Amino acid sequence: MMKLAWLNLHRNPSRALLTIFSVFIAAFFSILFGSTKNGILNSSIDSILKLSGGHIEIRSKSYSKTRSIDDIMYLDSATLDSISMLPYVKSVLPVLQSYLLISHSSSPSTKAVAIIGIDPEAEKDRILTVSEMVEGEWFSKCDKGVILGENMREQLGLGVGDTLAVMGMGYHGSSAVGLIPIQGIARIPVSTVDKSTIFITLSAAQELFQADDCYSEIYIMSERLDKVDLIKSQIQNKFSSEEYEIRDWKSIIEEYLFYFRFADAIGFIIMLFLYILVGSNILGTIIMMTKERKLEFSVLISIGMSRNKLSKSLFYELIIVALLGVILAVIITLPIVHYFTIHPIPLYGEAVATLKQFSIYSGLYMSLDFTLFIKQFLIVLGICLVFATYPIAFIQHLKVDEGLSKRDANEDNL
């Protein structure tokens, strides 16, 4: 029977190809749409994480409560290195932040600002903080100057080359006092940061606050969203839960989660429509190719082939066709999806322009996720299996004498 099914496919290649094609189209679009949907979701999560920190945040428990410079944590460089060596860790962003009063000799007023010490190299992975330099250069490792936003520059009425007098509390009772030149002006898309924050290199910050090897927090970016839990558990092995607070992206973006669920639901509805669309296409093809063979089925039943045997043979035929269609779709979509995980699909329009301005948007990426492939593979195959009941029911209810009559027998198989 298997052989007959296989041979039957060759008999009318255009019919078989048509069915394969309709299955292929179904799987093709399901996979592409699913990948795009996941890609959008992942990159939105990424964008928000870039705004807020990283996939995982580490800080000391006490600092988390007090936000006081006295409660920041000490970590030796070996510990930091060991984190960056964990599998799937994309980058480790150590930060030392605090508050200062700044003033300038040309004006009597002082201003309270947040100061963030960052690792200039690692920070490049966070596109948020600085989208581009307006004046001056981005930090190199040992720079001592500060970079601030355009808004802050206007407030202060100062520019590159001017020197700020800073004053604040240092680590463990010391004082943080110094003269720091302005080394650059940056465009900072997030306005609260633009208004109130100045940036400095991590090493300069540690020197200023007399806090060598101390950090207020460590942000960790993961290569893949689904590996965050793994990284987190390994970090938890290194850091005692009594001393350190380790949060992951889920708790960080909790406030946004509703929107993700919403987007997910919309994606699901679109997906459903897609399935209905491609499903009815498959069903149409199956119905057509079943009806077309009425005479053939009638002859076979007449000469003594049982309806069950015939159904089975036809079922095999459909399974072969469906498998070919889905496998073909996977083979073809794999490189496409892979390509678009690296190269974004450019989108245009006002909304996109706004997003771009905030550096949140960098294009429409797809997500290459094998479970998605397997899921769509099974769904489309499942749809085909459900539809395979049509020819089976058709055969079970076929009236042989009608099928044989010339009234509606098609004669192309003479």
Ligand X SMILES: Nc1ncnc2c1ncn2[C@@H]1O[C@H](COP(=O)(O)OP(=O)(O)O)[C@@H](O)[C@H]1O
Interface contacts to other proteins, rule CB under 8 A? 4, 7-8, 10-11, 295-296, 299-307, 309, 400-401, 404-406, 409, 411, 413-414
- Minimum CB–partner distance for residue 288 and ligand X (Å): 23
Nearer to other proteins, 10 or 258 (CB): 10
Residues in 273-312 that interact with ligand X by CB under 6 A: none
Q: How far is the CB of 308 from other proteins (least distance, A)?
A: 8
Binding partner of 393, given ligand X, other proteins, none, CB within 5-8 angstroms per partner class:
none
Structure tokens at 175: 């004082």
Beta strands 146-149 and 175-187 are parallel
Residue owning tokens 């307006």: 134
Q: How far is the CB of 298 from ligand X (least distance, A)?
A: 13
The number of helix segments (H) and strand segments (E) in the chain equals 16, 12
Is 323 or 400 the residue whose CB approaches ligand X more closely?
A: 400
| Bridge partners, 80 (sequence order) | none
State which residue, 121 or 408, has the beta carbon closest to other proteins: 408
Angstrom distances, CA of residue 395 to CA of 303, 309, 312, 384? 15, 10, 10, 17
Binding mask 352-391 for ligand X (x = CB under 6 A): ----------------------------------------
Name which of 60 and 298 has its Cβ closer to other proteins: 298
The contacts of residue 278 (CB under 8 Å, 6+ apart) are: 22, 25, 26, 29, 30, 380, 383
CA angle 5, 22, 385 (to 5 degrees): 55
User: What, of other proteins, ligand X, none, does residue 400 touch, CB below 5 to 8 Å by kind?
Assistant: other proteins
- Residue 411 interface partner, choices other proteins, ligand X, none, CB cut-off 5-8 Å depending on type: other proteins
> What is the C-alpha separation between 89 and 227, in angstroms, rounded?
9
Closest CB to other proteins among residues 17, 400? 400
145 vs 211: CA distance, rounded Å: 18
Element (H, E) at 272: helix 254-291
Q: Which of 212, 243, 402, 408 binds ligand X (CB under 6 A)?
A: 402
Residue with smaller CB distance to ligand X, 191 or 405: 405
Residue 76 contact partner, candidates other proteins, ligand X, none, CB within 5 to 8 A by sort of partner: none
Check residue 212 for interaction with ligand X (CB under 6 A): no
The answer for residues whose C-beta is within 8 angstroms of residue 117's C-beta and 6 or more apart is: 95, 96, 97, 199, 200, 201, 202, 203, 204, 205, 206
C-alpha angle 154-160-163 in degrees, rounded to nearest 5: 90
Sequence-distant (≥ 6) Cβ neighbours of residue 382 within 8 angstroms: none
| Cβ at position 414, least distance to ligand X in Å | 18
Cβ contacts of residue 401 below 8 Å, gap of 6+?
298
Give least dist CB 12 to ligand X, A. 27
Rounded distance, CA 148 to CA 269, Å? 45
Identity of the residue, 247 or 294, whose beta carbon is nearer to other proteins in the bound complex: 294
Whole-angstrom Cα distance, residue 143 to residue 157?
A: 23
Shortest distance (Å) from residue 316 CB to other proteins: 13
- The least distance separating ligand X from the CB of residue 375, rounded to whole angstroms, comes to 47
Residue nearest to ligand X (CB): 402
Phi, psi of 159 (to 5 degrees): -145, -175
Interface with ligand X (CB under 6 A), residue total 2
Nearest approach, Cβ of 380 to ligand X (angstroms)? 39
CB within 8 A of 177, min separation 6: which ones? 166, 167, 168
Task: Name the residue nearer to other proteins (CB basis): 66 or 405.
Answer: 405
Nearer to other proteins, 11 or 172 (CB): 11
Given ligand X, other proteins, none, residue 8, with its beta carbon under 5 to 8 Å by kind, binds other proteins
Q: Could you list the residues that contact ligand X (CB under 6 A)?
A: 402, 405
